[in-house]
Amino acid sequence: MGINEVWSWVETDKGKILDIGLKIAAETVRFSKQTGVKPCAVVSGEAKEEIGRLKRYGIRKVYVLEADDGSHPDVVPSLQGLSQLLAAIQPDHLLFAANSLGNEWAARLSIRFQAGVLGEIVDYGKSKGKLQLRKKAYGGNVHALFTLEGGAMSILTISLDALEKLEQPVEELEIVPFSCRCEQPRIVLQKVEPIHWSELSLHEADFVIGVGRGVTKEGMRTIQKLAEKWNCPIGGSKVADESGLITREFRIGASGKNIACHIYLAIGISGAPHHLAGIKEVKHLVVINPETNAPITENAELVIAMDFEKVIPFLLEMQTETLEVVS
């Protein structure tokens, strides 16, 4: 049995709490309201000066991992420290953001502690007195429902699309230091390189460009320059696939892939029903299309009613740095 607490791992970097860390902290509070347990966070001691920020998002207790005197001087308390903390005390639930780090840690910790694990949770709620979890399945085309039965610790990763940085301030924050032994890992990360825009999958990207019937092969060259500058993939409609503008794996819609990115820039797409079905989970839809009566414009937050050949060069000129998506 747990200790009536739900924990989340709050990611940090160089002494700062990352935005994804604040989002999973806010999600922990939402989860705690469904389960009736105390919302807590686990943070590396490198960011102890920033711990107070978590009060704004409703966290009531923070476990701070601090390296002891015998630790390797260059190792920041992270997975080793969290593992040692879990060996000493276990919550009812442990949450991670469903990014590459969270998914890997969830799998490794579930094996070590023989805990139940479920990934890519998009929503949850009570049903007949039990917590029901909804997760992506079959490439995001369907949702599968699971029931959390209780008992041993459960480890869950929350879909990045479901995370929101909701502020819900509390007045008091309990801080619990935990001393851990951090040794030099056998495998050391040397470098992180961004994935080239042409290799990004539609499911990995925060920003996706979509092209349709209104785009010519000549115009694609200009759009590819924008994709390279923003480092985002180019998908498109069924017509774009059939005309050779994109490959089959980048077709978006009922006959292709569903996307749930933060921003979808639709260029020259009219908005056939099967394409709209594939973008219904997009957070922000921007359309470049001179035909203002096109069906896709009905759901757009912004419509630029101009020819894309005039708009894209302007975007290339004004955008001098790599695009950073902010939800």
**Tens digit of each residue's pLDDT (9 = 90 or more) over 140-195:** 678 899 988 767 899 999 999 899 999 999 999 999 999 998 887 777 667 778 78
Please check whether the domain covering 5-180 is classified as CATH 3.10.20.340: no
Q: How far apart are CA 105 and CA 9, in angstroms?
A: 10
**Tens digit of each residue's pLDDT (9 = 90 or more) over 228-287:** 999 999 999 999 999 999 999 999 999 999 999 999 999 999 999 999 999 999 999 999
pLDDT at 324 over 60: no
Q: How far apart are CA 224 and CA 31, in angstroms?
A: 41
Domain ranges of the chain: 5-180, 197-318
Q: Which amino acid appears at position 292 of this protein?
A: T
Same CATH fold assignment for domains 5-180 and 197-318 = yes
Beta bridge partner(s), residue 209: 234, 265
Q: How far apart are CA 172 and CA 256, in angstroms?
A: 49
CATH topology for the 197-318 domain:
Rossmann fold (3.40.50)
- Whether the Cβ atoms of residue 21 and residue 44 lie closer than 8 Å to each other: no
